[in-house]
Structure 1
Amino acid sequence: SCCFDLPPSWYKGVFGNYEPGAWSPLTFGMDVETCDGCTNWQYTFNNRAAQFGNAGFPGLGTLSTESWQLRPGRNCLEISTGGFGSMQLSGARLTTGPLNILDVNHRLRPGQTGAFYDSDRSGEGIFVELLADDRAVVYVFTFTPDGTGRQAWMLGVGEMIGNHIVVTEMDRPTGPRFGPEFNPGDRVLNPFGGLALTMPECGDSKSRGTLFMSPPVDSEYELMGSTRYVQLTGIVDCNQLNGHAKAGFSGSWYDKSHSGEGIILEVLNDGRVLTQWFTYDHSGEQMWIQGVGELEGDILNVKDLYTATGTTWGSLFDSDDVVRQDWGTLTMEFHDCDNATAMYESTVGFGSGTFNMTRLTSLLGIPCK
């Protein structure tokens, strides 16, 4: 077994799948750095979980545990040698990769609300909205795993625990059709599994966060992990200074008659507004639309909205395959902090229309004035 001690300030281990019933046991792949018959066995942890269950991969050692929680004090993890007679574990890092430790003394700041991405996977990313009561909303925009290049998105409400955000169940909704035929009753949530995000240090451009997503075992979506997540945008800085006068317009907005789709706004300090619209196409499949607009007084103008196609989810993702496509324009007029009118006009067959928008989220430390 591999044993280590954790101080009282450490909380529970993040293994990737946040349904404790699915963790018996949890198996991680380990890189074999020497060969069978060598005298000096050296194993190091992979940077992401390789497989759940007992089997592991042929020829690789596995690390498994019956426990879904690491506690202060002595913790021991059982090691299987993957068919070899003996082995030595060395170089195990307990603060990176899927075996992450939470520090409950760390508090996330309002400046960490924003957009995040892996620079090696440009074209997909996440939006994080920090809320009161240690809650957070996480949106993921990406692509499907079936090779068609279609868009996909997920969302969920999770818990802030120290420097982590843990969402036990993300959803990948489908069903409603875009435009006048939109019917909230057509929405199917499609539970997607858990998400864990280790946030990069606030204000540190060199800091990297860790993202791990664990779709259901029977899903065509594979496990996905990254140790290179950086913050791309923020609404205020880490000291809650330098925010735009209208920063409080930031957050999630929706039309109550179109529950199941909505628009995320991030008002940056220079007056630009990062805009992300999560919706559906004419057949009820997922579609996301994004752009950067300008805020003039209480009116937001996004002159260039676009969608994207071309790549796939997970290990086959290739940024070079992402193709952006013009979609149209969006205007939002804010009547007060909680109500707005949105008008869109598409150039690619989605028509035009108007939404009566209502604020859905109020962001931690970023009040609307």
Structure 2
Amino acid sequence: MSSTVSAPPVSTPPRRAVFPFTAIVGQEEMKLALLLNVIDPKVGGVMIMGDRGTGKSTTIRALADVLPEIEVVADDPFNSDPYDASLMSDEVQDRFNRQEALPAARKKVPMVDLPLGATEDRVCGTIDIEKALAEGVKAFEPGLLAKANRGILYVDEVNLLDDHLVDVLLDSAASGWNTVEREGISIRHPAKFVLVGSGNPEEGELRPQLLDRFGMHAEIRTVKDPALRVQIVEQRSEFDQDPQAFLTDYADAQTELQQKLIQAQQLLKSVTIDHDLRVNISQACAELDVDGLRGDIVTNRAAKAIAALEGRTEVTVNDIQRVIVLCLRHRLRKDPLESIDSGYKVNKVFSRIFGLPDPDEAAHLNGAVR
């Protein structure tokens, strides 16, 4: 009598647990900047500068995890949208125009880490010239920009990255396309992503010309309050001991934030900003001697995004006050040896132009009341 042993069922490994975004304590400036860039990617990304071990990587992974899944063309390496032609690669668009059926699939928003030693080929992708010449096909090996399309591209220690590579990333983030050319052969694909850079100021700042191209600049510092530090340590221990139980505790808050982001993205196009407020923003940029118009544009966009996040269709002075330092502080530095303004100059000019109490006088009055 023979017996057959059936093979064990093939199971997919469980997805790695990610610390929930809604459980992160403190670092409000960084969290706000990231959320606003997700609501409106045209804000232009965020540069996060601060001490080591302050949760930069944890927060960015947590953000990607809380975002709603996206629909992609199942057999496309560029995460093309099956319905929106502006988010399709050229090949998928050709198929779409020929009215071919595009197989759709759902996936988590991609979060791509760019390693410090990455080459341009690894980032942008490579063209196989031999195959192209021999077979007459455009043989392209996608790079990290392709994987990051419609997601988040995170560059840790961006201030240590080669300036040329930073330029390539910023160009792709701004245009939404990556073009690779070699030996007369040119291939392009969509590369629309939220660019997040982080670094430690002790290791040097980015050149002002590159820094200016990041939409927002968030500063983070090590938490000094002992009670808050204990809370952060205890939370991390709880998560490490039993990730699933910890995630269950925050499931409702995560779902609520996800819905809030979806509604904000839909509401964004209806948000308006009064003409007088726009004039005041531009006056602040002019008085702070901000080069170009990028500061004006980003502040307008960020103010609209924060209004949408809170479910409103009109921008208030308070909205502008909450984002203007994030949008302008890194644009004041003209000399690479200067340090970035913590926000003092921006707040002082903002308060005067918008008719609010001078921050120095307000701080003095608060001290006197105490």
Could you tell me the TM-score, scaled by structure 1's length?
Answer: 0.23
More helix by percentage: 2
Bigger Rg, structure 1 or 2 = 2
Higher relative contact order (CA 8 A, sep 6+): 2
More strand by percentage: 1
